[in-house]
Structure 1
Amino acid sequence: MFKKLPGDEAHHLVSTTPDTAVVFRPAVVQTPAIITVIIFVGRLLAGAVRLLWRHPIASAVVAAPGVIWTLYGWRVALAVTTLPVSPLIPWAFFDRASFNHWIGWRLLAWWRLVWVYRRHWQPVMVISGLGRHVRGRDYLPRLVGVSCTSWADVVAVKMLSGQAVKDWADRTEHLAHGFGAVSCRVTVARAGRLLLTFPRCDPLAVPLPAVSVPETPSVGPVEVGMQENGQPWRLKVHGTHVLVAGATGAGKGSVIWSAIRGLLPAVRAGLVEHWALDPKLMELSYGRAIFGDRYAASPKECADLLDEAVSVMQERAARFAGVQRNHVPTVEDPFVLVIVDEVAFLTAYQSDKGLRQRITAALATLTTQGRAVGVGVLAALQDPRKEVMNIRNLFPDKIALRLDESEQVDMVLGDGARDRGALADLISPRPEVGAGVGFVRLETSLDPIRVRAAYVSDEDIRHMARDSVGGEAA
């Protein structure tokens, strides 16, 4: 009369009498204790064999002291254990960098793997929705390994079949809080493999002093600050165009002046020219002597200077046609860097429609045709909306400093940049903490890089202007 149903089928039962509830009592089978003990011992032995197979060296290191203690006594075991480790102590004190490279970060990675990531892997994956529970079985992405640097944990993950990178990018906050980190960034290692970066500290929390002026002239990537991994941040200005976006006080001036500072030796050698447009009359005017007669402040002067830059570009293009495809800076044809402090004031907020159209057309012409003939544009703005800056996509390299809204991050760096960890809207507004901090997205890479520009003080700018005047006089 009664039919036993599997547990998954119980919710399909329908009662034909409305006032009668369906009661489901699963069958209970009493398991003899001896069978439970055998299963437990079997699983214990299987786990021990699996541990020895996967980690033979670690198992031998742990078991060796016990074996030596049993055979030769505790004194011999203590000596054998401490003698190999004793040279590591002075090594760690006197050469910390090499010790961390070979041993320190590896030990930290092993500890973080065991205590943080493997320990919390299943609940974080299931609760965040990256794992799947199908017919009573959990399917989880595989934790491949963990490596540590001085500032972050890098976790290698193999995705489940059918998952996309966006599935992980949409859950970076779940992952960060689940593993006790302040943020999480997702990058693609290869097909089906991801790298999750969990910062342990912030190496960019302290302001950076101005970078020293290079000794040799060069138009190559100039050092303007530091990347989050501790490497110098070198900004490419020759052969590209750069857009810097950030709210008031975000540190746009740090990026601009650091780039100018890095090119000063090339300016003195005649290989670079700085053309400055300063409609706010505040930022670039402080070092006006650096620019000479290539400085414009009023909207009409800015439009005339941009038209002159277009003329230089077109004249070079006519000479280079059929002769060369890439620009090599020379004294006859120097690299021209057009610097615009607040481009939105000229393209969107300019009341004179004629000047606004001239400036927009000139900037569009320079950003589409200028880099092949040695004319680059470095522009800064506060509001990255399309109606304010409708040619922002013509800048191959983009920098997002502190922004007011999360939507503005993708406006500057491109769709999906914020999901991959470019949290420019969460940068601290405190100048000592967040000024100059931002994210860079290069033309050759979709992954944003966190950086901080060096702070060029007023005194540094005065020295730069004084040296420029002295160099021209000499």
Structure 2
Amino acid sequence: MFKRLPGDEARNLVSTTPDTAVVFRPAVLKTPALVTLLVYGWRFLAALVRTIWKHPVAVAVPAALAALWAWHGWPLALSVLGFVVMALLGWAFTDRSSFARLIGWRLLAWWRLVSVYRRHWQPVMDVSGLARRVHGRDYLPRLVRVQCDGWADRITVRMLKGQAVKDWADRTDNLAHGFGTTSCRVALVKGGRLLLTFPRSDPLASPIPALPIPNEPTVGPVEIGKQEDGQPLRLKVHGTHVLIAGATGAGKGSFLWNTIRGLLPAMRAGLAEVWALDPKLMELSYGRELFKGRYAADPAACADLLDEAVTVMHKRAARFAGLQRSHVPTIEDPFVLVLVDEVAFLTAYQPDKQLRHRISAALATLATQGRSVGVGVMAALQDPRKEVMNIRNLFPDKIALRLDESEQVDMVLGDGARDRGGLADHISPVPELGAGVAYMRLETSPDPIRVRAAYVSDTDIRHMVSLFTERGEAA
């Protein structure tokens, strides 16, 4: 409940005399000076205790220096201060990671709090419309904490009572430009609290060269690039299905070839197989020797290969029934990844209605039943509309590269993904800046993350094929 202010009573006064201004003088209550001093003293004491409790080191250091100055004079205090500064500099140069984790990022967070966020908090909240003025009283969201790392500032905010996450998600551009950054992400921490992420740098600004082929066989997660915070991007392919959507030239092939590259040791060991459907005859045909005959380009051959994958899935399900609920790759039952490039050509643009129905039915069957028996699907397409790909909701993990329209982002990543920061329609069309950059939404989290896949060149693919055939395992 908001308190009634004295000036609000003027609305209840009615004058019967024409052209007479209503003059209202609110009652003035004189507070004794002693009460005022007690109130301000109590506030100062509470703020002091709170500061000591939250920042013990920051308070202890100047207090210790002041005590040395008072008891032993300023030369000793200055010498101790110089020794501490030199020790910190030596620590920073010898072990930068531990210094940054324990000291550096905390100092940066304090500086950013003082110089940027607290300084501009009220004007940004007012202009963006996140602050409220009710009955002459201003209400501001509370800035709780600032944390920094090498990539971004993370701001914990307590919303006003009655605000929703969408109120903040709709104003991410206002927040980003208000605090001098290029973008802002909004995530819900718990009821009433938000985490605002303001990137300070972009590790994905430059193309990433092809990653080394793993030494040990694994079916995933396979490393295929970088996340926006600079951490390795590992894509889960075993036990899930992946849908990749992006405009022409956005870099869909980078995700396909990096997945193949990461699975190559497992393919050599017989623990994984990649079945490739390449109706465009462009992307996957370059390394068809890697697939050991499991390659199809003609629509009829693609339908036959999908039907064969369904048969393998049903046979495994019959053998696993009552014995195991999840798949463990073995030489007898390897993980099978069905790669489909430009799936829309097979499911929507295929003129043969019978073939189109066979392919759609096989893909739907694999997407609904294949996870538990070790048959996964990774499909790539350009047009994410439902009439083009009506089974897109059967893919738990989704990747959106550069898209032409903002509405397509939610088509690919799910409702509300763009409001949570999945700005796939803002990815640069310049290849050096935007090829392979995407927003990925995983089954385990509703919040999209910005990633970039490494670029696998034609030379890298030829090397993969050469390495594979040199060991006598290619067709």
Map of 2:254 onto structure 1: 254
Indicate the residue corresponding to 2:314 in structure 1. Answer: 314
* Contact 1:276–1:340 (CA under 8 A) maintained in structure 2: yes
Partner of 1:382: 382
Tell me by how many angstroms 1:39 deviates: 9.9
Q: How does 1:102-117 map to 2 (within 5 A)?
A: 102-117=102-117
Show the counterpart of 1:365.
365
1:63-74 aligned at under 5 Å gives the runs 65=65, 68-69=68-69, 72-74=72-74
Kept after mapping to 1: 8 A contact 2:400/2:413: yes
Residue identity in the other structure for 2:21:
V
Alignment pair present for 1:418 and 2:418 = yes
Equivalent residue of 1:187, what SS? Answer: strand
Q: How many residues align?
A: 466
Out of 18, 21, 24, which is 1:23 matched to?
Answer: 21
- Other-structure match for 1:55: 51
- Who is 1:327 aligned against? 327
Deviations 1:231-250 (A, max 9, x none): 21111111110001111111
- Give the distance between the partners of 1:464 and 1:137, measured in 2 at CA: 67
Pair 1:106–1:422, CA change in 2 (3 A): same
Counterpart Cα distance in 2 of 1:464 and 1:439: 27
User: Per-residue deviation at 1:438?
Assistant: 1.1
Letter in 2 for 1:252: K
Q: Give the equivalent residue in structure 2 for 1:438.
A: 438
- Is the Cα contact below 8 Å between 1:342 and 1:382 reproduced in 2? yes
> How far apart, in 2, do the equivalents of 1:257 and 1:251 lie?
10
Alpha-carbon distance in 1 for matches of 2:199, 2:384:
28
- Distance in 2, matches of 1:163 and 1:447, equals 20
Cα distance in 1 for residues equivalent to 2:36 and 2:48 = 19
Paired AA for residue 237 in structure 1: V
Answering whether residue 399 of structure 2 is matched by residue 399 of structure 1, we say: yes
Secondary structure of the residue aligned to 1:87 is helix
Q: Whole-Å Cα distance in 2 between the matches of residues 31 and 68 of structure 1?
A: 48
- Counterpart in 2 of 1:297? 297
Q: Which residue of 2 aligns with 1:236?
A: 236
Whole-angstrom CA distance in 1 between matches of 2:32 and 2:212: 72
Alignment partner of 1:146: what SS?
A: strand
Counterpart contact for 1:15–1:21, Cα < 8 Å: no
Distance 1:473 1:50, change over 3 A: closer
Q: Is 1:201 matched with 2:197?
A: no
How far is 1:162 from its partner? 3.1
Structure-2 separation of matches of 1:247 and 1:169? 25
- Deviation sequence 1:4-53 (CA, Å, 0-9, x none): x9533445667778xx6563555499999xx9999998887566534422
C-alpha spacing 1:22/1:352, structure 2 compared with 1 (3 Å):
farther
Q: Which amino acid aligns with 1:75?
A: P
Secondary structure, aligned partner of 1:451: strand
Moved more, 305-314 or 157-166: 157-166
For structure 1, which segment, 153-162 or 343-352, has the greater mean C-alpha deviation from structure 2 after superposition? Answer: 153-162
Looking at structure 2, the residues matched to 118 and 362 of structure 1 have their Cα atoms a distance apart, in angstroms, of 57
The whole-number CA distance in structure 2 between the counterparts of 1:183 and 1:22 is 54
How far apart are the structure 2 equivalents of 1:109 and 1:192? 23
Question: SS at 2:110's partner residue?
Answer: helix
* 1:227, distance to aligned residue in structure 2 (A): 1.2
Q: Distance in 1 between the 2:242 and 2:189 partners?
A: 27
Deviates more, 1:391-400 or 1:61-70: 61-70
Deviation of 1:292 (Å): 2.6
Compare 160-169 and 326-335 and name the one that shifted more.
160-169
Find the counterpart in structure 2 of residue 85 from structure 1. 85
Equivalent in the alignment of 2:171: 171
Partner of 2:149: 149
TM superposition score normalised by structure 1: 0.91
Question: Which whole-Å deviations, capped at 9, do the CAs of 1:43-76 have from their partners, x for residues lacking one?
Answer: 8756653442222343454455456546654433
- Structure-2 residue corresponding to 1:94: 94
Matched, 1:457 2:467: no
- The unaligned stretches of length 5 or more in structure 1 are none
Task: Return closer, same or farther for 1:30/1:139 CA change in 2, 3 Å cut-off.
Answer: closer
Q: What secondary structure, in the 3-state scheme, does the structure 1 residue paired with 2:189 have?
A: strand
User: Contact (CA 8 Å) 1:240, 1:397: kept in 2 or not?
Assistant: yes
Q: In structure 2, do the counterparts of structure 1 residues 50 and 361 end up closer, same or farther at CA, with 3 Å as the change threshold? A: same
Distance 1:66 1:325, change over 3 A: closer
CA contact (8 A) 1:246 1:400 kept: yes
Is 166-175 or 382-391 further displaced after alignment?
166-175
Q: Which moved more, 1:21-30 or 1:336-345?
A: 21-30
Q: Secondary structure at the match of 2:472?
A: helix
Q: Deviations over 1:399-432 (max 9, x none)?
A: 1111111111111111111111111111111111
How many angstroms apart in 2 are the aligned matches of 1:261 and 1:349?
30
Q: Which amino acid aligns with 2:339?
A: I
Contact 1:143 1:158 in 2 (8 A): yes
Cα distance in 2 for partners of 1:368, 1:28 equals 71
C-alpha deviation, 1:194, in angstroms: 1.8
| CA 1:30–1:326: 2 relative to 1, 3 Å | closer
Contact 2:7 2:26 in 1 (8 A): no
